[in-house]
Amino acid sequence: MTVAILALQGAFAEHGQMLDRLGVENFEIRQKRDLGRSFDALILPGGESTVMGKLLRELDLFDELRERIEKGLPVFGTCAGLILLAKDVEQGTPCFATMNLCARRNAYGRQLGSFHTDGVFAGDEKVPMTFIRAPYISKAGEDVEILAEVDGHIVAARQGNQLVTAFHPELDSDMQVYKYFMAMIEK
C-alpha cells in the first residue's frame, strides 16, 4: 500500500512521519509529474485551504485529483483538507466539493483560539485532538457518517471513500485515526 500526501503547504511532513511509524510507504505530491507514481490513497493536510486550492489549480493537479477522488480513491483530509473536500464552505469557496457537508472555516477563531482536548472517535476510545485555527462541520448530508463531535460540533466524518477531521491527528502520537484510514484503504 502506498499513500500520497499533498505537499504544497501545511503539515504534510508530519503525516509522512505517522505513516512511517505504521510502516506504510508514502511520498509527497508537489508537482504534476508526481501524479504519475502509483498510489492507493491520498492525504490532504492542514494548512491554508485558500492557498492550497489556488496551488492545486496553478500546478495543474486539481482536475486529476478530483477525478480520482470521485472514482473512489480513499482520501483523508485534516483541517484545511476537510475544507478542500467540503461541498459547501461558510466564508469561503469550495474546492474539490466531493463531500456532502458544509465546513465553517476558522470556526474556533484565530490562532489564539487553538486548543487541545480528548474526544471519542468512531465510537472507540478517546483520542487526542489538537485544533489549530480549525474548522468544524456545520451541516452534514444524510450519506455522511459522523465520527466525532466536540462541544456539539461535528469534528470528524466519513462519506464513502472520504474521511475528514477538523483536528490534527498528525500532531499527536495516537495512531487510531490513521489505523481507521488504513482499514478504509484495505476495503
C-alpha cell at 32: 504534476
Q: What is the mean pLDDT of the chain?
A: 94
pTM here is 0.95
Select which of 14, 15, 102, 170 is catalytic.
Answer: 170
Mean pLDDT value across residues 80-105: 94
To which residue does cell 508537482 refer? 31
Which residues, listed in sequence order, are joined to residue 3 by a DSSP beta bridge? 26, 41
Q: What are phi and psi of 185, to 5 degrees?
A: -65, -45
63 has pLDDT over 90: yes
Mean pLDDT value across residues 105-113: 66
14 flagged as catalytic: no
186 flagged as catalytic: no
Mean pLDDT value across residues 66-76: 98
Of 54, 36, 42, nearest in space to 12 by CA: 42
Select which of 14, 15, 95, 168 is catalytic.
Answer: 168
Mean pLDDT value across residues 52-78: 97
CATH number (domain holding residue 73):
3.40.50.880
- pLDDT band at 68, cuts 50/70/90? very high
Using a 10 angstrom Cβ sphere, with 0-12 exposed, 13-18 middle and 19 or more buried, the burial of residue 138 is: middle
Q: How many domains does the chain have?
A: 1
pLDDT at 110: 61
Which tens digits make up the pLDDT trace of 142-185?
A: 999 999 999 999 999 999 999 999 999 999 999 999 999 999 99
Strands 25-29 and 2-6: parallel
Strands 153-159 and 162-165: antiparallel
Contact 26, 3 (CB under 8 A): yes
- pLDDT band at 113, cuts 50/70/90? low
pLDDT at 111: 57
112 has pLDDT over 60: no
Select which of 14, 15, 79, 95 is catalytic.
Answer: 79
Which tens digits make up the pLDDT trace of 15-53?
A: 999 999 999 999 999 999 999 999 999 999 999 999 999
Cα angle for residues 66, 68, 73 (degrees, 5° grid): 120
- pLDDT band at 128, cuts 50/70/90? very high
Quote the domain boundaries for residue 134: 2-186
> For residue 118, which amino acid is it?
D
- Any idea which of 68-77, 115-124, 163-172 has the lowest mean pLDDT? 115-124
Q: What are phi and psi of 25, to 5 degrees?
A: -60, 140
